Amino acid sequence: MRKVTGRTMLALGALVGAVAVPATISAAAGGSAPRATPSTTGLCATRATAPTYKHVIVIIEENHSYGSIVGSSSAPYLNRVIASCGVASNVHNVTHNSLPNYLALVGGVPLSQLGPFLNDCAPGSCSHLLAGSNLFNQLSTRGAMSYEESMPTSCARSSSGNYAVKHNPAVYFSDLSAGCSTHDVALGSTSNSPLLRALSSERTAPAFSLVTPNLCNDMHDCGVGTGDAWLSTWLPRITSSTVYKAKDTAVFIVWDEGQGGYAGESCAANQSDSSCHVATIVVAPSVKKGAKVSTAFTTYSLLKTFEDLLGLPELNSATTAASMVKPFRL
CA atoms of 159 and 232, how far apart (whole Å): 26
Q: Check residue 170 and report its DSSP letter.
A: G
Predicted structure pTM score: 0.89
CB 157 within 8 A of CB 171: yes
Please tell me the predicted confidence (pLDDT) of residue 34.
Answer: 56
Q: What are the structural domains of the chain?
A: 45-320 (3.40.720.10)
C-alpha–C-alpha distance, residues 172 and 178, integer Å: 12
With a pLDDT cut of 70, the percent of the chain lying above it is: 89
Specify burial of residue 148 (Cβ count, 10 A radius: 0-12, 13-18, 19+). Answer: buried
Task: Please name the residue ranges forming H helices in 1-44.
Answer: 6-19
| pLDDT at residue 181 in the model | 87
Question: pLDDT digit string (tens) for 110-168?
Answer: 999 999 999 999 998 998 899 889 999 999 999 999 999 999 999 999 999 999 999 99
CA–CA separation, 149 and 287 (whole Å): 28
Per-residue confidence (pLDDT) for residue 21, from 0 to 100 = 32
Low-confidence stretches of the chain (pLDDT beneath 50): 1-33
